[in-house]
Amino acid sequence: MILTVTLNAALDVTYHVDALVPRASHRVGESFSRAGGKGVNVARVLSTLGVPAVVTGLVGGPTGRAIRDDLRVAELTDELVPMAGDSRRTVTVVSREDGDATVFNQCGPHVDTAVWTTFVARFTRLLRGAQVVVLSGSLPPGVPADAYARLTRLADDAGAMTVVDAGGPTLLKALGAHPTVVKPNAAELTEATGHDDAATAARSLRELGAGSVVASRGPDGLLAVTPEGTWRATPPRRLAGNPTGAGDACVAAIAAGLLAAEPWPAVLREAVALSAAAVVCPLAGDIDAGLYHQFRTSVPVERTHAPVDH
């Protein structure tokens, strides 16, 4: 089973307007909401692939209830831990005129120590059934800054592999606990290491403690720096759209690959195909099944270096 952690779970709300005009009053024609946060999106993709996934993290208040109601509709296993305060929302305003999206992310309510302790106990119990743990997204206020390092160590103690998808200090602090894979995007890679060159930056993250680094570089595809070697995998066509959805689909492919003990070239091919099938979908967590099946046999994966020494 793959356990996905979403400490900052959200209700993702989409508003459709004719056109977004700053300073104007807009009539919202339709609105649509569903459970979100990166870990929830990853579980949704895994569920679509038929891979068993369990969702944990923190939720609270009426928005938390709406998140849980939607997980039930999506038939995702809900092991979220209740907290005080109301879960955050993200509002995405989509313009009918040009399809462009403008996003507003709330930061989420403050998490107190007692809730964090309860969460850690639940996480530890869930590890008994987990082979892979996915730690995705931002940390809400009140959660320790080294939360992903602590959870990575607990997973490691229980014999589970870990995938960390975060940026900034949250990523850097996780590295000390030696996560199996980290998946920064290009901006996170540069921010964390100061290096503009993806290969140099990825090697530097491995030196800081990551087992493998899979850097997602938008339409340029993936660069993986691993103990088994370095690979580049590129989408056969350039597709633009929803970068959040693409990143979460990539993480789902990596987690599924670790669970099935697939070799890196197969994992990367799957990750690029799933990302491309997700980037065209307006809602993160969705994939275009036709594109996925078309791409998963046609993604070029190129080995670029000899295996890197430990």
Active-site positions read: 248
Which tokens hold the place of 145? 């800054």
Rounded-to-integer distance, Cα 243 and Cα 264, Å: 23
Quick check: helix, strand or coil at residue 184? coil
The distance of closest approach from Cβ of residue 101 to a second copy in the complex, given in angstroms and rounded to an integer, is 7
Report if residue 100 touches a second copy, rule: CB under 8 A. yes
Residue type, 146: D
Secondary element (H or E) of residue 133: strand 132-136
Give, in order, the Cα–Cα distances in Å from 234 to each of 107, 254, 284, 296: 33, 15, 21, 11
Interface stretch with a second copy, choices 98-106, 159-167, 181-189, 259-267 (CB under 8 A): 98-106
Distances (CA, A) of 72 to 78, 130, 235: 8, 21, 34
Among 52, 77, 106, 195, the residue binding a second copy under the rule CB under 8 A is 106
**Single residue of 5, 35, 42, 66 touching a second copy by CB under 8 A:** 66
Task: Single out the residue of 104, 96, 90, 68 nearest to residue 13, CA to CA.
Answer: 90
Q: Does 191 bind a second copy (CB under 8 A)?
A: no
**Which stretch in 14-22, 141-149, 195-203, 220-228 sits in contact with a second copy by CB under 8 A?**
14-22
Q: Quick check: 84 and 118 in contact, CB under 8 A?
A: no
Q: Per CB under 8 A, which of residues 15..34 are in contact with a second copy?
A: 15, 17, 20-29, 31
Query: In this chain, which stretch among 70-78, 102-110, 139-147, 216-224 interacts with a second copy, using CB under 8 A?
Result: 102-110
Size of the site for a second copy (CB under 8 A): 28
Greatest C-alpha distance within the chain: 59
Instruction: By CB under 8 A, tell whether 142 contacts a second copy.
Output: no
Contact region for a second copy (CB under 8 A) — 60-68, 205-213, 218-226, 264-272?
60-68
Touching a second copy, residues 72-91 (CB under 8 A): 91
Nearest CA-CA partner of 135 in 194, 78, 92, 177:
177
Among the listed residues 65, 153, 195, 217, the single contact to a second copy using CB under 8 A: 65
Smallest gap from residue 38 Cβ to a second copy (A): 13
Tell the smallest beta-carbon distance from residue 222 to a second copy (Å): 22
Of 155, 157, 159, 213, nearest to 186 by C-alpha is 213
Q: H-helix or E-strand containing 212?
A: strand 212-216
* β pairing state of 53-59 and 10-17: unpaired
Q: Which residue has the tokens 């720096």?
A: 225
We find the least distance from the C-beta atom of residue 30 to a second copy, in angstroms, to be: 9
- Per rule CB under 8 A, is residue 310 in the interface with a second copy? no
Alpha-carbon distance of 225 to 304, in angstroms, equals 10
In this chain, which stretch among 46-54, 57-65, 277-285, 292-300 interacts with a second copy, using CB under 8 A?
Answer: 57-65
Of 11 and 239, nearer to a second copy (C-beta) is 11
**Chain residues that interact with a second copy, rule: CB under 8 A:** 15, 17, 20-29, 31, 62-63, 65-66, 91, 93, 95, 100-107
